[in-house]
Every structure is written in structure tokens, then in C-alpha cells.
Structure 1
């Protein structure tokens, strides 16, 4: 199982709507709108890195109002 945080910047005023849409996607554990340099932080999980990449590129990045994403895979050291 691969887990990651997806940090999202949105257009002004779109954070809540973006978080609501993403929260309903399969593979998304949690999506919260936050204050700071990013507007939404998502916790996601997938069976593989490739599946995680497909979630981010084919689904998350296509949500209207997103301007930038940064995917941070969780590592267990």
C-alpha cells in the first residue's frame, strides 16, 4: 500500500469546493481545506506508485479550480 499527501493550491475562493469534490474520489482517505501556502491537503492511498500517479494526474489535477499540486509519498524509515 502506497500512501501520500497531496498538497493543492487553488484559485481564490475555491478551496472548499475543491476539497469537497476530491473527498469523494476512490483512494482519497481525507481532504481538508487549510490555511497557509497550500489551500487543500489530501491524504490518499493506492496499491502502487503507478496507481497513485493515475489518481493524481487523471482525477485530482482535473478538478476545476486547482492551479498546482505537490504529491508527497509517505516513507517508513
Structure 2
């Protein structure tokens, strides 16, 4: 399995709602709202890198209230 963290910035006051919506998407393993420079951190996974970049990440990016994302593939997911 290929996994990554997606660091998410949201519109002001939307972090909790966005985290809950992201958590329900296919391929999302966990989603938490946090404090700091990012508002939500999601861990995502799929069988292949292509599926991750073509399907899972774009579905997260389409959630209403998200202003910016940064995808960080996990270097050693063993």
C-alpha cells in the first residue's frame, strides 16, 4: 500500500467540519483537525501511487472549505 499525509489549510472556522468530511472519503485512513500552520492532517492510502495521485488526493482537494493542500508521501510505509 502507498500512503501519504495530506496537510490541509481551511477557511477560518471550517477545520472541524472539513476534517469530518475528509474522514468519510474513500482512501482516507484518518483525518484530524489540529493547531499550527495547517488546520487538518489526513493520512491517505491506496494500492498504487497512480491511484493515490489520480483519485484519492483530488477527492480530498475538492472538499468545500479547503484553501490549500500539501501532499507528503510516506517514504517508508513498511
**Structure 1 residue ranges without an equivalent (≥5):** none
Structure 1 distance, partners of 2:60, 2:26, is 11
Q: How many residues align?
A: 76
Runs of 4+ in 1 over 2 A off after TM superposition: none
Does 2:18 correspond to 1:15? no
TM-score calculated relative to the size of structure 1: 0.94
Residue 56 of structure 2: aligned partner: 55
Structure 1 distance, partners of 2:12, 2:32, is 16
TM-score calculated relative to the size of structure 2: 0.93
Structure 1 distance, partners of 2:56, 2:11, is 21
**Structure 2 residue ranges without an equivalent (≥5):** none
